[in-house]
């Protein structure tokens, strides 16, 4: 392969070209000459850090990546979070309520924005403008990312972990089954129906039993992904069941007319056995079980991990070929992909009001936005986990061939951990197999990814309205999804009542505050 293919994917998916171009000129200078530039403090400085994340990790000075950063910046962090806790939210809250704030605190956007406005965290914009040229340049190039991270007062209280690349998931189909049954890759809703029907009726696994499960999913987000065929959206963002932007207006996809049409058709498909009868209950091992037992025909899932079954099942299922395919066209002739990577994540770090060295701290944060800092945050330590090949950080053979997945190896040394930094998509491409890469290239060329809703920061009053109504509305929507799909109620005859109920439950009020917040936050970008 495919060096060209790999390059194309990297090139077309980059969203940080300007930043890279700006800084790559410096890359050739020697490490020694650079070191002085990375100094965040004239004298050696130790700062405490409290960052318990993903319910099981703590940010630690022991990571080789952090030790190298300390050497370069003259700032050494010291972990004060207890690794005994198994709940990051609790660990954060405990620190806040104790009043004993670490200098650097890691956590989630909503908490930074809430406690930031209450005075626990410093607003960062002025510090960035004066002391963090790389962060400043990044947000100037991507103002929408700043808006997505900022609080309802427009101020930034944390530096987010920013993802690179946009693609996450795509459609997969048993290519060998299609060939066996004389079918083409489906291109329209009618053809998807015909394929799933044939998988169901014509015994493609050849065991004489009607045991095939045509469409399956291992997670909630993909349970009803087929609704896309009728132009309905599963979500407006990477968060399941999120609001979506329709021509500058926020609405919820599950209150739209095309959702009614989709659910009506999917209920029929379910009845005909084209969708896993256990679609809501089979759980996270559905993919492994249904593929491993030669039963599953089609799904929608992550490119890298789903592609690996072609390797792992090659010896046990003859001819096994589970290949990415483009999203089929919709009934209106559109073609779109609804799942994507969240660009500005809710994870990141901020500076507490107890910190006596905010200037040094923001300079230390800025280090992770330099070319070298970003490289270390993504690839680890040069000479250890990666080397520079043709000007690009490239994982060593030892890393790529280790029995442990590359991301797990990196977490152990402090790379790819959610500090405020910008992910480099190339890190992931280097260990994705060729089937995944080819699939992603197909989607890149299609350019059919829906833009995402990046979230809003609500004021206290707006938040009160949202909290009063939204959780129960969302629960009701999900209950009705199941009721309709499983055939317990008829979609067409209950749709009007569903709409009225949403209104009674406060859907209109929630839309109002969401729209107000959206306009405040993104109005200037529209």
| Complex with Ca ion: residue 297 or 380, whichever CB lies closer | 297
Q: How far is the CB of 205 from Ca ion (least distance, A)?
A: 4
Q: How far is the CB of 293 from Ca ion (least distance, A)?
A: 11
Contacts 24+ apart (CB under 8 A), 1-8: 1/434, 1/437, 2/434, 2/437, 5/437, 5/438, 5/441, 6/429, 6/437, 8/441, 8/444
Q: How far is the CB of 167 from Ca ion (least distance, A)?
A: 33
| Complex with Ca ion: residue 273 or 506, whichever CB lies closer | 273
| Complex with Ca ion: residue 211 or 334, whichever CB lies closer | 211
Q: How far is the CB of 202 from Ca ion (least distance, A)?
A: 9
Q: Does 409 bind Ca ion (CB under 5 A)?
A: no
The 8-class DSSP code of residue 275 comes to B
Q: How far is the CB of 317 from Ca ion (least distance, A)?
A: 13
CB 338 within 8 A of CB 147: no
Instruction: Tell me if residue 453 falls in helix, strand or coil.
Output: coil
Instruction: Tell me if residue 155 falls in helix, strand or coil.
Output: coil
Q: How far is the CB of 182 from Ca ion (least distance, A)?
A: 17
Task: Give the per-residue contact string, 181-210, with Ca ion (x = CB under 5 A; - = no).
Answer: ----------------------x-x-x-x-
Beta strands in 319-403 (DSSP E): 322-325, 344-351, 386-389, 392-395
Q: How many residues bind Ca ion (CB under 5 A)?
A: 5
| Complex with Ca ion: residue 201 or 509, whichever CB lies closer | 201
Task: Give the per-residue contact string, 206-245, with Ca ion (x = CB under 5 A; - = no).
Answer: -x-x-x----------------------------------
| Complex with Ca ion: residue 53 or 215, whichever CB lies closer | 215
Q: How far is the CB of 208 from Ca ion (least distance, A)?
A: 7
Q: Does 355 bind Ca ion (CB under 5 A)?
A: no
**Of 464, 261, 230, 436, the residue nearest 330 (C-alpha):** 230
Q: How far is the CB of 211 from Ca ion (least distance, A)?
A: 5
Q: Does 312 bind Ca ion (CB under 5 A)?
A: no
Residues sharing a CB contact under 8 Å with residue 333, sequence separation 6 or more, in sequence order = none
DSSP bridge pairs for 160: 348
Which tokens belong to 300?
């929608």
| Complex with Ca ion: residue 35 or 203, whichever CB lies closer | 203
| Complex with Ca ion: residue 177 or 427, whichever CB lies closer | 177
Pairwise CA distance, residues 183 & 189, whole Å: 14
Q: How far is the CB of 223 from Ca ion (least distance, A)?
A: 23
Pairwise CA distance, residues 317 & 338, whole Å: 31
CB 124 within 8 A of CB 350: yes
The length of the chain in residues reads 526
Q: What share of the chain is helix, strand, coil (3-state, %, to 5)?
A: 50, 15, 35
| Complex with Ca ion: residue 215 or 453, whichever CB lies closer | 215
59's enclosing H/E stretch is none
Task: Give the per-residue contact string, 374-393, with Ca ion (x = CB under 5 A; - = no).
Answer: --------------------
| Complex with Ca ion: residue 209 or 332, whichever CB lies closer | 209
**Of 514, 425, 416, the residue nearest 467 (C-alpha):** 514
Q: Which parts of this chain interact with Ca ion (CB under 5 A)?
A: 203, 205, 207, 209, 211
């Amino acid at each position: 392969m495919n060096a060209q293919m790999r390059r194309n994917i990297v090139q077309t998916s980059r969203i940080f070209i300007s930043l890279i171009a700006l800084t790559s000129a410096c890359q050739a200078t020697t490490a020694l000459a650079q070191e002085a530039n990375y100094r965040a403090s004239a004298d050696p400085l130790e700062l405490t850090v409290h960052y318990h994340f993903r319910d099981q990790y703590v940010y630690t000075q022991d990571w080789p990546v952090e030790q190298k950063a300390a050497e370069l910046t003259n700032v050494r962090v010291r972990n004060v979070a207890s690794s005994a806790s198994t709940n990051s939210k609790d660990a954060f809250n405990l620190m806040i309520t104790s009043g004993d704030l670490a200098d650097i605190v890691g956590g989630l956007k909503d908490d930074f924005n809430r406690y930031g406005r209450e005075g626990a965290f410093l607003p960062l914009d002025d510090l960035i403008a004066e002391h963090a040229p790389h962060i400043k340049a990044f947000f100037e190039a991507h103002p929408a990312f700043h808006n997505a991270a900022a609080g309802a007062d427009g101020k930034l209280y944390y530096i987010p972990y920013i993802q690179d690349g946009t693609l996450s998931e795509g459609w997969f189909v048993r290519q060998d089954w299609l060939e066996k049954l004389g079918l083409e890759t489906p291109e329209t809703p009618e053809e998807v129906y015909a394929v799933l029907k044939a998988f169901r009726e014509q015994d493609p696994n050849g065991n004489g039993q009607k045991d095939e499960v045509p469409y399956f999913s291992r997670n909630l987000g993909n349970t009803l992904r087929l609704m896309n065929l009728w132009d309905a959206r599963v979500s407006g963002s990477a968060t399941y069941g999120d609001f979506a932007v329709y021509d500058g207006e926020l609405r919820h996809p599950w209150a739209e007319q095309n959702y009614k049409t989709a659910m009506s058709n999917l209920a029929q498909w379910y009845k005909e056995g084209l969708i896993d009868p256990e679609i809501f209950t089979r759980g996270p091992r559905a993919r492994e079980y249904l593929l491993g037992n030669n039963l599953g025909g089609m799904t929608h899932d992550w490119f890298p991990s789903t592609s690996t079954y072609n390797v792992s099942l090659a010896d046990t299922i003859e001819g096994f070929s589970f290949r990415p395919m483009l999203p089929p066209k919709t009934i209106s002739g559109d073609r779109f992909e609804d799942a994507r990577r969240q660009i500005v994540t809710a994870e990141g770090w901020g500076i507490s009001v107890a910190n006596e060295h905010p200037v040094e701290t923001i300079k230390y944060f800025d280090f992770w936005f330099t070319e070298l800092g970003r490289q270390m945050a993504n690839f680890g330590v040069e000479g250890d986990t990666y080397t520079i090949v043709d000007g690009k950080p490239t994982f060593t053979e030892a890393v790529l061939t280790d029995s442990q997945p590359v991301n797990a190896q990196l977490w152990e040394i402090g790379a790819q951990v959610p500090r405020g930094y910008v992910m480099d998509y190339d890190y992931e491409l280097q260990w994705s197999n060729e089937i995944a890469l080819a699939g992603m290239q197909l989607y890149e060329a299609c350019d059919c990814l829906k833009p995402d809703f990046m979230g809003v920061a609500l004021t206290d009053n707006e938040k009160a309205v949202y909290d009063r109504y939204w959780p129960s509305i969302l629960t009701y929507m999900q209950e009705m999804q199941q009721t309709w799909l499983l055939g317990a109620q008829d979609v067409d005859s209950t749709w009007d009542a569903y709409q009225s109920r949403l209104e009674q439950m406060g859907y209109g009020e929630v839309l109002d505050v969401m729209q107000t917040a959206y306009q405040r936050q993104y109005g200037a970008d529209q």
